[in-house]
Amino acid sequence: MTDGKSIATQEWKRNWTLVLAASMGFSFFSIMLAATGVFMQPLARDFGWSRTLLSSGPSIALLMTAVLSPFFGALIDKFGGRTVVLPGLVVTMLSVASFGLASGSATQWIILWVIFGFVAVSIKSTAWTAGVLSAFSTSKGLALGLTLAGTAVAQAVVPPLANGLIETVGWRWAFAGMSFGWGGLTLLLCIFFFHDARKRAPVPATPAVESSDGDEVATEEAAAEPPLAGLTPREALRDSALWRVGISNFVVMVLTMGLTIHLFPILTEAGVSRDSAAWLTSLAGIAAIAGKLVTGALLDRFRPNWIGGITLGVTAIVFLLLMEGISSWTLVIFAMLVNGYAAGTKTQITGFLTASYGGMRHFGAIYGVMAGLMALASGVGPMLAGVIYDAFGGYGPFLLAGAIGCGLSGLLMISLPSYPKFEQQETAA
């Protein structure tokens, strides 16, 4: 029999380009969120906009994706991820570039974000995770980690890149440069390498051949893929484990996305220069890449609910440290590293646990709902942080809520039960 390590090696030989394309695709979805904080001060200077209005854009877009995610998840189940993401990349590129046309109208600003939210849902995490998870079995944790590391790459690269473009060519051309540069490369990779294994034509089984020592050995194409197992959407709606996964991630996503969008102004208002704030924000992105890779390996080896609970719960430390201001550069850097590491795992943990508790039979639909909840939380978080800032003149109450909420959500994740055994259930039926 082929051992697990050999199977994992074969999976990576066949599908590493798929993971590369999916990771780049998810990174392009994330560039606007990663850049929003960097654009806040130039836009506020030119147009006099409030922090609430500036942060309302990402909130509106993410609320749009929350509503549309289940619908696009069903489309992916029916037509495959490639059919959805290729045209989605093209229209998202145009949408990002159009932000450079902002004229100072609050209505126009909101419309630009509504359009972005509508088109960008087509390249959200659902399509990328469905494509990768359908191609991996033994090494799906690491594959998922590398795929979702795309958002961490965006978080690491975009702040200094956007800041440099703003200082060099202005904020209008900065939007266009990020759109057609990053998006164009992503589109090329996806045209050549992104596919959905569930939509590829099945390979006909071939009979086993007898080896020189008399043993029967199956050819590479002999083993047919087993039918996908898992819960129906109706069963998933009644599953308490999936509810706990959804609730814990919703709470943490509200708090951490509010922090992510406002992190750049939090640092600059504490006395950090724009260049230093950009690099500190980038440091969190680099830590997020490490978080996804390490967490992917840990999910394949240890109990995922403990990995997820500890990782999400430790984010409470970041909020507590930022409440103290910039009293120590060592503590600030430590907070950025912890925030980045934990932030790099939320979508990954949710995708892994959704596949484990819900199965792959209707993964697109079930994870579409999960992605919708995360998108809803991501939309509420930045707006909530902006409203609190305008109401209280600072982020203190928001940071306190973040410390409490992340700690409790980590405990909820740890309480998850053992995985269901779908194959046994189907056999028994």
pLDDT at 178 over 60: yes
Asked if residue 322 is part of any domain, the answer here is yes
Q: Would 22 be classed as within a structural domain?
A: yes
- What is the Cα gyration radius of the chain? 22
What CA–CA distance (Å, rounded) separates 159 from 35?
A: 6
Domain membership flag for residue 218:
no
Q: How do residues 2-61 score in pLDDT, each as one tens digit?
A: 565 677 778 888 888 899 999 999 889 888 888 888 898 899 889 988 878 887 888 788
Opening angle at CA 294, ends 290 and 300, nearest 5: 155
Among the listed ranges 18-32, 191-205, 264-278, 290-304, which one has the minimum average pLDDT value? Answer: 191-205
Q: Does any domain span residue 226?
A: no
User: Which has the higher per-residue pLDDT, 132 or 299?
Assistant: 132
* Tokens describing residue 84: 């959805």
- Compute the mean pLDDT over every residue in the chain, rounded to the nearest whole number: 78
Return the C-alpha torsion angle 95, 101, 105, 107, nearest 10.
Answer: -20
Could you tell me the two tokens for 54? 């500036």
What gap in Å lies between CA 353 and CA 289, rounded to an integer?
20
- Find which of 60-74, 257-271, 307-321 is predicted with most confidence, using mean pLDDT: 307-321
In a domain, 162, yes or no: yes
Assess whether pLDDT exceeds 90 at residue 86: yes
Asked whether the predicted pLDDT for residue 139 surpasses 70, the reply is yes
DSSP state string for 93-146: HHHHHHGGG--S-HHHHHHHHHHHHHHHGGGSHHHHHHHHHTT-STTHHHHHHH
Task: Band the pLDDT of 197: cuts 50, 70, 90.
Answer: low
pLDDT value for 32: 87
Answer yes or no: is pLDDT of 161 > 60.
yes
Place of tokens 């509106």: 60
Look up residue 103 and give its two tokens.
């004229």
pLDDT at 211 over 70: no
Confidence at residue 324, expressed as pLDDT on a 0 to 100 scale? 67
pLDDT bracket for residue 116 (50, 70, 90): very high
Task: Classify 271 as helix, strand or coil.
Answer: coil
Q: What average pLDDT does this structure show over 71-78?
A: 78
Nearest CA-CA partner of 248 in 237, 236, 240, 260: 240
216: phi then psi, degrees, rounded to nearest 5: -85, 130
Q: What are phi and psi of 209, to 5 degrees?
A: -115, 155
CATH, residue 240: 1.20.1250.20
On the question of pLDDT at 105 being above 70, the answer is yes
Domain span at residue 109 reads 14-196+232-417
pLDDT of 108 higher than 80? yes
What integer is the mean pLDDT of 91-105?
A: 93
pLDDT surpasses 50 at 203: no
Q: Which amino acid is it at 83?
A: T
Q: From residue 37, give the alpha-carbon distance in Å to each of 113, 174, 369, 382.
A: 15, 14, 28, 10
Tokens 């579409």, residue located? 368
Q: Helices 304-313 and 240-269 meet at what angle, rounded to 10?
A: 30
Q: What are the tokens at 331? A: 């503590």
| Residue 209 maps to a domain | no
Q: For 288-313, what is each residue's pLDDT tens digit? A: 777 777 777 777 777 777 887 887 78
| Cβ contacts of 331 within 8 Å, gap of 6 or more | 321, 324
**In whole angstroms, what is the distance from residue 340 CA to residue 282 CA?**
9
Cα–Cα distance for residue pair 167/165, rounded to 1 Å: 5
Q: Does residue 424 fall inside a structural domain?
A: no
Q: Please report the pLDDT score of residue 3 as a whole number.
A: 60
Enter the pTM of the model.
Answer: 0.63
Q: Which residue has the higher pLDDT, 388 or 289?
A: 388
Domain count, the chain: 1
The answer to whether the beta carbons of residues 285 and 340 sit under 8 Å apart is: yes
261 within some domain: yes
Confidence of residue 206 (pLDDT cuts 50, 70, 90): very low
The confidence band for 184, taking pLDDT boundaries of 50, 70 and 90, is very high
